[in-house]
Structure 1
């Protein structure tokens, strides 16, 4: 039997930045959510889908693919048994045309909903909950990989899906506000992925859209997330004045007075900004206040997933590590690095890679090249070669090592190690 290549899923993977192995990992995770046990797919499974050898995956795999991509199997080029293969869609599409098609689709949905004699679809909280499930997937991907273009694109596409849903039927005000909050959440995740990947122009575009959606939602928690992310973005851009102003917007929201955990995160990020601005006194004060607020926070209080999934003592120490490293207080930075790494949750691979790289910088700055290289060599190859922030910090580490340990066996070990990274990338 001849097989027809599935160019549709190939195009989707290319447009969203997925390798075969990465898609297999995402599908396995989604299967685990559906069944309680992770799936057993690998890169060869995905290659079978692309080649057409597997034209219609098993039901649970199709469900997992829909969770990951937001599309039913038929729209990914898969063909139910007994049906002929339809003509493949073009692999490339101009981004402006994509936007026009999205707008046209929204208008068409609205026209159908308003057509005389047609019963409009009722949008309910079950639709919101489905989107919130996909948001959980985005959060999980960020903690595993961080900064990837595919995460940014998936989050942006899901924000558009939430907005499309607004126009596809009738809904209560509560549901509509929740949909805007979902769209703002996805757009803020796209913003964060762009920040983490050092794609700052895109991050600012996502920020503007996220801010508008958050205002329409009335959700203070998502407003906090967006403005707090903006503060981090401006800190990375070397604009501490703008960073402080953005973070102050987040900290001024009423929920920071209701919930000490939000207050603690705002203060910890404020401390990191003060560190980047070389303001030692303000940095120390902010971290002392952040610790006090964290100690007061009720661990059982209901909070949004994006906050509880990452902010804890380990993250506070991570931000303190960043600040003290910027301030040149290297022994204190190293102490915070060890505290952070010992408390990080197992799934936070991205955060572990960043903290480990900063630990290496702190050790090297204290003259301990052997310990620094040993730490830097613990960063996984995937983070060292695919995460923009980690890659840049390791390049800076290598430059500092060459400047301080020229001709040493330690430098030779590091040179050979990074050569192996480049070979396996």
Structure 2
């Protein structure tokens, strides 16, 4: 019997960004969920489907394919036994137009199979996911510039809802649905982080629970890591080191930290910052050594989520080492890490730069250099000093420490006048 290529399946794979191997893996996972046993397909199996050598896969395979694609087997170009499929006529139109027509026909066939006589539902695809990921990059950019703002939290939460609404807006493949859950979890994690950064901890906990549920449905290890790691940071800021260490342990135990040392680096560094609350200098140093070792082993050229930028630069490790040593009272080491972090931070990371500048001022003041510390603190931009909850609180603490250590000095007067000036512009 003459074989006829399955152009419908090829078009679906092209539209959804699947290779033969990735589709085989997705089908194997779907088959395991259906039967309790993983499928045995590989790239050659998919190539046999595309070439037409296998025209009607076994029932378990067909069901798994339908779960993965969201389409009936017939709409994917498979032909039941006993039926014939004629070879397609030679292409006479533009190939791109033909592909678009074919993909549109697949969606229409799926709708007709599900509900004859009704209009075709909207097809949700990776282009929708790409649009959401672009919006996520915008949220991250806003966080780097401003951080902690209620507006960022609200926008991120609204975009999480938008990603979830797409789940019910039309048909989609399993890959697209998982990606939509990942997008929703990403936005919720940013809402969570904005609430943490703005010291709105009750709101952060609500976002955290929603983000954790969405991340589980997505199966995205990177976003799971981000959420649990943020949970550790939240509990650290709340002064609950036991909970912070436990949350960090969940993040550090994820498979992604073994697959990519850059995630391991970030996990160890955040653990070090939390251990700073316990006063265990040896444990902090061990964690920082592990973080540095992981950073040295990491391939910095790999594509990673946009929120990993500071970790990939090494700036995040220096920032968290600064926080840990400042907590321990190792002020000379804290100052050294502060200078390195400020050198490594990208220009757009204005929020982190403001925070680390205040930390540097604290380290200098603790070493008895009130003049240098005050000059450093005065470098913090007025908008960060007045509009960012963490920065404002840290500057208030700096002012109190300065008055306590240099009471009545001209430096204190200079700081009081400066602080009054930027408060007046708030």
Q: TM-score, normalised by structure 1?
A: 0.72
| CA drift at 1:118 | 2.8
Report the aligned-residue RMSD.
Answer: 1.3
Q: Report what 1:45 is aligned to.
A: none
Would you say the 8 A contact 2:234–2:244 is kept in 1? yes
Tell me, in whole angstroms, the C-alpha distance in 2 between the residues paired with 1:410 and 1:231.
37
| CA drift at 1:117 | 1.5
Tell me, in whole angstroms, the C-alpha distance in 2 between the residues paired with 1:153 and 1:269.
26
Tell me, in whole angstroms, the C-alpha distance in 1 between the residues paired with 2:295 and 2:283.
18
Count of residue pairs the alignment pairs up: 313
| CA drift at 1:299 | 1.0
| CA drift at 1:343 | 1.4
Would you say the 8 A contact 1:114–1:120 is kept in 2? no
Q: Counterparts in 2 of 1:4-403, with a 5 A limit?
A: 117-308=118-309, 311-403=312-404
- Alpha-carbon distance change, 114 to 331 in structure 1, aligned in 2, over 3 angstroms: farther
| CA drift at 1:286 | 0.2
Would you say the 8 A contact 1:265–1:311 is kept in 2? no
| CA drift at 1:116 | 7.0
- Alpha-carbon distance change, 116 to 147 in structure 1, aligned in 2, over 3 angstroms: farther
Tell me, in whole angstroms, the C-alpha distance in 2 between the residues paired with 1:265 and 1:209.
23
Aligned to 1:232, the other structure's residue is in SS state: helix
- Alpha-carbon distance change, 298 to 292 in structure 1, aligned in 2, over 3 angstroms: same
Q: Whose Rg is larger? A: 2
Q: Which runs of 5+ in 1 are unaligned?
A: 1-112
Tell me, in whole angstroms, the C-alpha distance in 2 between the residues paired with 1:208 and 1:396.
32
Q: TM-score, normalised by structure 2?
A: 0.72
Moved over 3 A (4+): 113-116
Q: Which runs of 5+ in 2 are unaligned?
A: 1-113
Aligned to 1:210, the other structure's residue is in SS state: helix
Tell me, in whole angstroms, the C-alpha distance in 1 between the residues paired with 2:356 and 2:163.
34
| CA drift at 1:308 | 2.7
Tell me, in whole angstroms, the C-alpha distance in 2 between the residues paired with 1:227 and 1:272.
15
| CA drift at 1:148 | 0.4
Aligned to 2:118, the other structure's residue is in SS state: coil
- Alpha-carbon distance change, 158 to 114 in structure 1, aligned in 2, over 3 angstroms: farther
Q: Report what 1:60 is aligned to.
A: none
